[in-house]
Structure 1
Amino acid sequence: MRDILISARSAADQLRPLFEPTPLQRNDHLSNRFGADIWLKREDLTPVRSYKIRGAVNAMTRLLEESPDQEIFVCASAGNHAQGVAFACRHFGKKGVIYMPVTTPKQKIDKTRTFGGEAIEIRLTGDYFDQALAAAQAFCAEAGGHFLSPFDDDDVIEGQASIGAEIMDQLGRAPDIIVLPVGGGGLASGVKRYFEALGAPVTLRYVEPLGGASLSAALKAGEPVTLNKVDGFVDGAAVARIGARPFATLKDADPAAVLLAPEDRICITMLEMLNVEGIVLEPAGALAIDALPDLAEEIRGKTVLCLTSGGNFDFERLPEVKERAMRFAGTKKYFILRLPQRPGALRDFLQILGPEDDIARFEYLKKSARNFGSVLIGIETSRAENITELFVRMTEAGFDYRDVTIDETLANFLV
């Protein structure tokens, strides 16, 4: 493997005709909140709004140095990697064939097409990423294309390591702690390789989505394993199996250094950064910031760098993000109420609502053969304590109810 310090610097230099180094910004809001010197490396501000362009450009550069006649590049992706590859194909004037699941949001398909222009062909295949991946690899073998992995490729990892070179140029020193999001592991392993080679005394902390903790599973097993189930909400980091090459670098990580971020809590972080700072982050892009409360004691008084890995957020998802954030914060609850079928029963319930309690959902199914009817109710309020107090009043008033907010199967069906 090439010297990572040299290759990362080379990768950074190759990017300069395409875009300036992404900003490294001190964030006063987070610094004041946690009593630390917190900086954000804004990878959400690359031309494709994610760091993926780095690995794609570096991998194509390296291959074309060795095989300048290579004409076809292929990838499978439902998001940021597709956009990075599309941008790189247009830049190098090479044909790109990009496989995406049929279920990919139209916004992501349109952005990929915009970045690639006439240089790329998008093929929608299968309902899931694995199906698109299998089709892409089969096409590669048939057409003599070169497959560009999103993370399990040394050239891609070196491209992501260019972030480390930029950090040193911009900050002028190594931070005390770097907080890195982890999906397939390409970004985290690239940054780790760089700072280890630099000999800088940097503490690394890794953050995975709770529903896609492939690094944690691999550390426990001692090798990459495939998760049985993945929550796809954090689509930029929801990976069922960490890459073999990234894991070769990350395998000595202390499991305690890997933090898990609940998907619903990430929504709170996304909204906070949007409303307070005006920063638009996708779920994966918010991972590093979301972990700061878990690191509060460790980071106090230190220089901390959080990598915001992407900002490709479809605002059509905003209602879902707000819903999940409120449910995690305890300010929105869904419950099934058994309401007596008698005049005035509904009025009795309404009278115990607090002044800040708002009915956001109400569905009543009355069956004449029963003395009670089932009512699905959604309550929104300003403080979690209000819900607790409401449930106490409901119990004291003799109302029978069942909280279904955290019943994933039932809540998904009803809500």
Structure 2
Amino acid sequence: MQDFAKAVRATTEELRGLFPATPLQWNPHLSEKFQAEIWLKREDLTPVRSYKLRGAFNAMRKMRVRDPGQQHFVCASAGNHAQGMAYACRHFGVRGTIFMPVTTPQQKIDKTRTFGGASVTIELTGDYFDQTLAAAQAFCRAEGAHFLAPFDDPDVIEGQASVAAEILEQLGRAPDMVVLPVGGGGLASGVTRLLREEAPEVQFRFVEPLGGASLKAALEQGGPVKLNKVNSFVDGAAVAKLGDLTWRHLDWVRPAQVHLAPEDRVCITMLEMLNVEGIVLEPAGALSVDALPELASEIRGKMVVCVTSGGNFDFERLPEVKERAQRHAGLKKYFILRMPQRPGALREFLSMLGPEDDISRFEYLKKSARNFGSVLIGIETKKAENFAMFTGRMDAADFAYRDITHDEALAEFLI
């Protein structure tokens, strides 16, 4: 048991040659809000803006000890793991081939290339990640290279456990609770294993995106299962299947310890952290903070560490994040309105808007009958309860409408 802790501390020392320990920051805003002592472990402040560098570095370091002749590493990733491996390849002066889906945003491709420099080659292949992964593994076998897994690898897990080693050193004691995001389970496996050995009194809570709850599914089924559908918005944690190795590290978790974060609610948390704290978090990086309202009664008066796992956020996505946050908070809705085709109808409709209501979108879709036309209308307001008054006025005036705000099929085509 102590061998793992010893290895993790050796890894942590090795990491100091790559970057300093990430800050563990007391957050007064969250602490006051939840009447607790809230600390943020800022993994969004590593050189690649995520904790993934730790595992990639450690796996590469150990492989080079076991097989000094191995100079070629391969991975499949469209995000943080790719950037972590690229950085490690440049550090060790080894060759890296990174397979990414053709659909990967150019910003992520460029960042990966920047971190890896001449050490890294990027191969774009496959429309979906499964196709990319298959291509990477086939290439790896043909080239005799080493495949660097994103989470289901003991050396990767050991590397991620350095987060826990730093927390204990920086706090000088064990916290009452650690809140962890979960994707494939590498970070959660490493952090919990070290803390359960060295500070068994620590409680754990785990947060998954609602549309990618692979740990929850594994706990319900008694082992890893592949989700039929994954919502990719929280891309850093939207994993279809928990790892087999990470499952063996996490099979002790109780379902009640796992919290599911709706993707749109995560957007509210991201905006709050940006606007109030000036902290840029990617969706997966905000998961641990997003769960705090659900944990409010449990954490009052306690010391809690939330691991903010990444900050690789493309600001071109900010309008989407704001939109999703408003819709989740009930501050923005979309309607299809059956507008009478007569003089004064539009003026009559506009008179139904309250003083805090704003039209954000107005688009004629088609004439559905000689005397009526269909209109897509988006409305923003300052208080969610204003919509009840607005729809009440439409009902009283016999305006026919349909709220499509949460209709996924229609929203996908019309909004």
TM-score interval for Structure 1 and Structure 2 normalised by the shorter chain: over 0.9
Whole-Å separation in 2 of the counterparts to 1:368 and 1:168: 65
In structure 1, give the amino acid aligned to 2:136. A
- After TM superposition, the score normalised by the length of structure 1 is 0.99
Whole-Å separation in 2 of the counterparts to 1:336 and 1:115: 47
Matches for 1:324-343 after TM superposition, within 5 Å: 324-343=324-343
Whole-Å separation in 2 of the counterparts to 1:79 and 1:367: 45
Matched with 1:413 is: 413
Matches for 1:276-295 after TM superposition, within 5 Å: 276-295=276-295
Matched with 2:257 is: 257
Matched with 1:350 is: 350
Residue 224 of structure 1: how far off its partner (Å): 0.3
Show structure 1 runs of 4+ deviating over 4 A. none
- After TM superposition, the score normalised by the length of structure 2 is 0.99
Q: Which piece of structure 1 moves more, 169-178 or 197-206?
A: 197-206
Residue 129 of structure 1: how far off its partner (Å): 1.1
> Is the 2:212–2:238 contact (alpha carbons within 8 Å) kept by the matching residues of 1?
yes
Whole-Å separation in 2 of the counterparts to 1:367 and 1:260: 42
Tell me whether 1:91 sits opposite 2:91 in the alignment.
Answer: yes
Gap change, CA 1:176 and 1:2, over 3 Å in 2: closer
Whole-Å separation in 2 of the counterparts to 1:33 and 1:108: 35
In structure 2, give the amino acid aligned to 1:57. F
Matched with 1:70 is: 70
Among the aligned pairs, what percent are the same residue?
Answer: 70
Residue 367 of structure 1: how far off its partner (Å): 2.9
For residues 377-410 of structure 1, give each alpha carbon's deviation from its aligned partner in whole angstroms, at most 9, with x where no partner exists.
Answer: 0001111111222111111221111000000110
Whole-Å separation in 2 of the counterparts to 1:54 and 1:251: 23
Structure 2: stretches of 5+ with no match in the other structure: none
In structure 1, give the amino acid aligned to 2:364. Y
For residues 81-128 of structure 1, give each alpha carbon's deviation from its aligned partner in whole angstroms, at most 9, with x where no partner exists.
Answer: 000000000111100000000110111100000000000100000111
- Root mean square deviation, CA, Å: 1.0
Whole-Å separation in 1 of the counterparts to 2:255 and 2:333: 34
> Is the 1:4–1:197 contact (alpha carbons within 8 Å) kept by the matching residues of 2?
no
Gap change, CA 1:160 and 1:122, over 3 Å in 2: same
Residue 4 of structure 1: how far off its partner (Å): 1.7
Matches for 1:356-395 after TM superposition, within 5 Å: 356-365=356-365, 367=367, 369-395=369-395
Matched with 2:221 is: 221
Whole-Å separation in 2 of the counterparts to 1:373 and 1:293: 43
Whole-Å separation in 2 of the counterparts to 1:391 and 1:281: 36
In structure 2, give the amino acid aligned to 1:142. A
Whole-Å separation in 2 of the counterparts to 1:109 and 1:265: 28
Gap change, CA 1:216 and 1:400, over 3 Å in 2: same
Matches for 1:304-319 after TM superposition, within 5 Å: 304-319=304-319
Tell me whether 1:79 sits opposite 2:79 in the alignment.
Answer: yes
Residue 235 of structure 1: how far off its partner (Å): 0.4
Matched with 1:25 is: 25
Whole-Å separation in 2 of the counterparts to 1:22 and 1:367: 59
> Is the 2:180–2:204 contact (alpha carbons within 8 Å) kept by the matching residues of 1?
yes
In structure 2, give the amino acid aligned to 1:156. V
Q: For residue 206 of structure 1, give the secondary structure of its aligned residue in structure 2.
A: strand
Matched with 2:398 is: 398
Whole-Å separation in 2 of the counterparts to 1:197 and 1:368: 67
In structure 2, give the amino acid aligned to 1:151. F
> Is the 1:352–1:393 contact (alpha carbons within 8 Å) kept by the matching residues of 2?
yes
In structure 1, give the amino acid aligned to 2:10. S
Whole-Å separation in 2 of the counterparts to 1:201 and 1:317: 40
Matched with 2:113 is: 113
Structure 1: stretches of 5+ with no match in the other structure: none
Matches for 1:126-145 after TM superposition, within 5 Å: 126-145=126-145
Matched with 2:177 is: 177
> Is the 1:137–1:147 contact (alpha carbons within 8 Å) kept by the matching residues of 2?
yes
For residues 42-77 of structure 1, give each alpha carbon's deviation from its aligned partner in whole angstroms, at most 9, with x where no partner exists.
Answer: 000000000000000000111111111101100000
> Is the 2:174–2:199 contact (alpha carbons within 8 Å) kept by the matching residues of 1?
no
For residues 306-327 of structure 1, give each alpha carbon's deviation from its aligned partner in whole angstroms, at most 9, with x where no partner exists.
Answer: 0000000000000000000000
Whole-Å separation in 2 of the counterparts to 1:77 and 1:387: 43
> Is the 1:174–1:200 contact (alpha carbons within 8 Å) kept by the matching residues of 2?
no
Whole-Å separation in 1 of the counterparts to 2:217 and 2:368: 52
Q: Count the aligned residue pairs.
A: 415
For residues 179-205 of structure 1, give each alpha carbon's deviation from its aligned partner in whole angstroms, at most 9, with x where no partner exists.
Answer: 000000000010010011114300000
Matched with 2:61 is: 61
For residues 194-231 of structure 1, give each alpha carbon's deviation from its aligned partner in whole angstroms, at most 9, with x where no partner exists.
Answer: 01111430000000000000000010000100000000
